[in-house]
Chain A
Amino acid sequence: MLSIRNLTASINGTPVLKGIDLEIKAGEIHAIMGPNGSGKSTLGKVLVGHPAYEVTGGEVLYEGRNLFELAADERARAGIFMGFQHPIEVPGVSNAAFLRLAYNKKAEAEGRDELDPLEFDDFIHEKIKLVSMKEEFLDRSLNEGFSGGEKKRNEILQMAVLEPKLAILDELDSGLDIDALRVLGDAVNKLQRPDRALLIITHFPRILETIQPQFVHVLSGGRILKSAGKELATELEDRGYDWVLEEAAAGGAR
């Protein structure tokens, strides 16, 4: 589904990604962990087409197509979704109106019927159950005044509405209470299918108990230093990142 080859990217002239290789196949769940500032969010933003990041080398194929030929909104309609670490607030734009426009844009692109406000109302009421969101959040302005956890819940609601093929979830778990973590973890699992894939960015193994990855990667200094199975997450929790860095340094010196 997604092939990242020797991807390098920089922001304001500073290189942040320094050669990323990653292969994600349909049905797979991948997790990326790594120290603060290592480039995890950057990788996600480059993949969804954030204009501030400059791709300086390498290539990314999404379903066999050169990803960088697609504009950010085209990537979204082609099935790529990113749950942001810090979702922005938009005063005056109702959450429901935003969700409906997003849904209809995708429906239009896929040649499906668009939903009018009444039809969408029925549709969205099913979806909010999945993330246990209170109805009143639909009428509020998009993310405005939402708590950190409520914003994350809203991100997963959007994911449920758009049903992406590839979802990149950047620190879904930070700021979530214990119950919310379980509810949203379950919701993400329910949305996972054999033809879909997930890329979970996190600092904590806990969420990976619910959303169980087959692969865990350590990203540090703009490179993937180590990839292994799910057990790597717990090992990282016990031992921190230093040993991975040392191992990699030793490998690099060889």
Chain B
Amino acid sequence: MTSTFNVVTSQEYKYGFVTDIEADSVAPGLSEEVIRFISAKKGEPDWLLEFRLKAYRHWLTMAEPEWAKVEYPKPDFQKIVYYSAPKPKKPQYASMDEVDPELRRTFEKLGVPIHEQEALAGVAVDVVFDSVSVTTTYREKLAAVGIIFCSFSEAVKSHPDLVKQYLGSVVPSSDNFYAALNSAVFTDGSFVFIPKGVACPMDLSTYFRINNKESGQFERTLIVAEEGASVSYLEGCTAPQFDTNQLHAAVVELVALDRASIKYSTVQNWYAGDKDGKGGIFNFVTKRGLCKGKASHISWTQVETGSAITWKYPSCVLLGDDSIGEFYSVALTNHKQQADTGTKMIHIGRNTKSTIVSKGISAGDSSNSYRGLVKVQPKAEGARNFSQCDSMLIGQSCSASTFPYIEVQNRSARVEHEATTSKIGEEQLLYFQQRGIPAEEAISMIINGFCKDVFRELPMEFAVEATRLLSLKLEGSVG
């Protein structure tokens, strides 16, 4: 049955696309043909095409998840364009003076260096500041110790065996609706490989990824740390990110072998829509780390401030004995934003430990939910979890919810959960103002205090920016 199917479809490919293969983009809509087209365009090996098709066929049998506490018009998957040839970003402006003053103001407040402002805003940049040269230097330094850090497409070409070995090994293509969709149609992303015993000499940032092309809305990231290796990876930046694609469904997979450690930090500031929530990004992400080896360690730190809808649960599967999973999160929602975010800690190995620290801040008319699962499987002797979930409300019309799920199947396990809800109310603000501190600075100080346990986990310069970003996001929301 399957083989007949393949014959038919490959024939369709053969006749349907031979002439179109030179096209720069494909018509909107999703079908096996479109997937074959994407794969062919990217010159992918057969196994990868099979991976995509399998995911697609499974996706067809799945329904869009309904359980999250978010409301949005369901995307029409036949209206999305799944492939358009990557174009180098054209400079839109001749100088910074032409850039939207609002955006400039934001950059200045965030303290983004001027040449980075230009790059981000799409200003033609001076050769001296060309980020490519910066990137090249980094690349050489990394290659010297055997680290691979490149775009996903590049990795498929240059290290197909590694990609084949690990792709889908943490997030199977059938995992969930959006992960399956991503597996079928992902266009690009990042690949990181840290060989045995190597401690990555610098934080790796998507910012410096060699491939400057747009990764599109279906991004795929795979990070592998071999025995005893360690790496800190930074995703995103504090500057606001705009995109014409409304739906973003990324998949991130992390694999840590024996004693390896991966620290993954995200600052997410996708466009959240206007004050009424119009036009914002839907961010439906699957992030999961596999602590495969003994005493391996995976730590997620996220600062989520953007997107109209966020649906995201960076998780850890603690398979190796003595492995450690951590999740530190600040999720801020304002205006009409909705976030349903949290984590899953799956304890499988013995003496595995996990820590969850979640700080939700809601302002305006937003809705902010923490959803977390701590699961201790029967063989996870001595497993331990500590969860702390705090919510802060600013104003009267926002909401915060916590949904902690705990499933313990081993009697020696210890699972602790603490939750608080507080309010930046008039009393707190008045107290600061009564000491001469203006409201905006007061809020920033209160929020910072609230998020301290998470910010502490961020790389230094990220932490400073994250602090400023939160204040900026809350500007005018109190008082």
Which A residues contact B (CB, under 8 angstroms)?
A: 45, 48-52, 71-73, 75-77, 81-82, 84, 87-88, 90-93, 97-98, 101-102, 105-106, 109, 141-142, 158, 162
When A92-B449, A98-B445 are in contact, do A82 and B433 touch as well, CB less than 8 Å? no
16 more A-B residue pairs beyond the given contacts A72-B430, A73-B432, A90-B449, with a C-beta to C-beta distance below 8 A:
A49-B430, A73-B439, A76-B434, A82-B434, A84-B431, A90-B431, A90-B445, A92-B448, A92-B451, A97-B445, A102-B435, A105-B437, A109-B436, A141-B449, A142-B449, A158-B435
From B433, B436, B446, A162 is in contact (CB under 8 Å) with B436
When A49-B430, A88-B427, A88-B428 are in contact, do A76 and B435 touch as well, CB less than 8 Å? yes
Cα A14 to Cα B432 with chains together (Å): 26
Cα A72 to Cα B432 with chains together (Å): 9
Q: Are A52 and B426 in contact (CB under 8 A)?
A: yes
Q: Are B430 and A51 in contact (CB under 8 A)?
A: yes
Cα A106 to Cα B450 with chains together (Å): 25
When A90-B428, A101-B441 are in contact, do A72 and B433 touch as well, CB less than 8 Å? yes
Q: Are B450 and A73 in contact (CB under 8 A)?
A: no
Question: Which residues of A lie under 8 Å from residue B435 when comparing CB positions?
Answer: 76, 98, 102, 105, 158, 162
Cα A82 to Cα B432 with chains together (Å): 11
When A93-B446, A141-B449 are in contact, do A106 and B434 touch as well, CB less than 8 Å? no
Cα A51 to Cα B442 with chains together (Å): 15
Q: Are A93 and B426 in contact (CB under 8 A)?
A: no
Q: Determine the residue in chain A with the shortest Cβ distance to B453.
A: A92
Cα A77 to Cα B432 with chains together (Å): 12
Q: Are B426 and A71 in contact (CB under 8 A)?
A: no
A167, chain B: closest CB distance, angstroms: 11
Q: B146 at interface (Cβ–Cβ under 8 A)? A: no
10 A-B contacts (beta carbon < 8 Å) = A45-B430, A51-B479, A73-B439, A82-B434, A90-B445, A92-B449, A93-B445, A98-B445, A102-B436, A162-B436
Question: Which residues of A lie under 8 Å from residue B422 when comparing CB positions?
Answer: 91
Q: Are A90 and B426 in contact (CB under 8 A)?
A: no
Q: Determine the residue in chain B with the shortest Cβ distance to A83.
A: B434
Band of interface residues on B: 20 to 34
Cα A133 to Cα B426 with chains together (Å): 28
Produce 1/0 per residue, B20-39, CB < 8 A to A. 00000000000000000000
When A92-B448, A101-B437, A101-B441 are in contact, do A87 and B426 touch as well, CB less than 8 Å? no
Q: B91 at interface (Cβ–Cβ under 8 A)? A: no
A11, chain B: closest CB distance, angstroms: 11
Question: Which residues of B lie under 8 Å from residue A142 when comparing CB positions?
Answer: 449
Q: Are B433 and A91 in contact (CB under 8 A)?
A: no
Q: Are B450 and A91 in contact (CB under 8 A)?
A: yes
Interface residues of B in 292-319 (CB under 8 A from A): none
Question: Which residues of B lie under 8 Å from residue A50 when comparing CB positions?
Answer: 426, 430
When A50-B426, A51-B426 are in contact, do A72 and B434 touch as well, CB less than 8 Å? yes
Q: B111 at interface (Cβ–Cβ under 8 A)? A: no
B359, chain A: closest CB distance, angstroms: 10
Question: Which residues of A lie under 8 Å from residue B448 when comparing CB positions?
Answer: 92-93
Interface residues of B in 403-448 (CB under 8 A from A): 422, 426-428, 430-439, 441, 445-446, 448
Question: Which residues of A lie under 8 Å from residue B428 when comparing CB positions?
Answer: 88, 90
When A76-B436, A102-B437 are in contact, do A93 and B431 touch as well, CB less than 8 Å? no
Cα A93 to Cα B445 with chains together (Å): 7
